[in-house]
Amino acid sequence: MGGNTLEAGSLVAKAVHWNSVGRAKRWHAPPPIAQAEELTFRVWHVVCGDVRVEDPSPTVKLPSGLRGKERIMSMHPKHIDEVAHNTIVAEIARQALVDYYEEANGDNGDNLEGPSDGEDSEEEESASESEDSL
């Protein structure tokens, strides 16, 4: 039995990997049925949970310069909707920005307590002052 060992509690998903269709942007095809092995993937980030795909149609066409279109069409390719693609790209950029900000500020996301400089927040100070006056 091959593969990697994952730590207990790791987030995983079972899925079938789809292949890119040549140089056709945002076109993917499932593997042939004989090769459609369900794999377990480790999930690092969920970028988009509901990716809308489109079947080939008169308005959703494979690129004109793509070779072997008949063979590709027999693979039942799907095209990732442009809005879904843009949503995915924007979310990846947003997550990269958050990661950069956290690294630059030394925050790994574990600090859920509030200010880390040892000083109380204004709300805590006013609450303690009102308790002292009682």
Please determine, for residue 117, whether its predicted confidence score (pLDDT) is greater than 80.
no
In a domain, 35, yes or no: yes
* Residue 46: other Cβ atoms inside 10 A: 9
Q: How confident is the model at residue 121 (pLDDT cuts 50, 70, 90)?
A: very low
Q: What number is the average pLDDT over the span 113-127?
A: 51
Q: How confident is the model at residue 130 (pLDDT cuts 50, 70, 90)?
A: very low
Structure tokens at 116: 């880390």
Rounded Cα distance between 27 and 18, Å, is 10
In a domain, 87, yes or no: no
In a domain, 122, yes or no: no
pLDDT of residue 109: 56
Q: How far is CA 84 from CA 6, 8, 26, 89, in A?
A: 30, 32, 10, 9
In a domain, 28, yes or no: yes
Please count the structural domains in the chain. 1
Q: Coil, strand or helix: which one is 117?
A: coil
- The per-residue pLDDT for range 23-79, each reduced to its tens digit, is 889 999 988 877 778 888 888 878 887 788 899 999 998 888 888 888 889 889 999
In a domain, 116, yes or no: no
Structure tokens at 26: 């945002």
pLDDT of residue 90: 93
In a domain, 123, yes or no: no
DSSP string over 39-62: EEEE-S--S-S---EE---SSS--
The predicted model scores a pTM of 0.59
Q: Which residues pair with 68 in a beta bridge?
A: none
Please determine, for residue 119, whether its predicted confidence score (pLDDT) is greater than 60.
no
Rounded Cα distance between 129 and 134, Å, is 9
In a domain, 37, yes or no: yes
| 74 phi and psi angles, rounded to 5 deg | -70, -15
Query: What range does the domain containing 60 cover?
Result: 12-81
In a domain, 120, yes or no: no
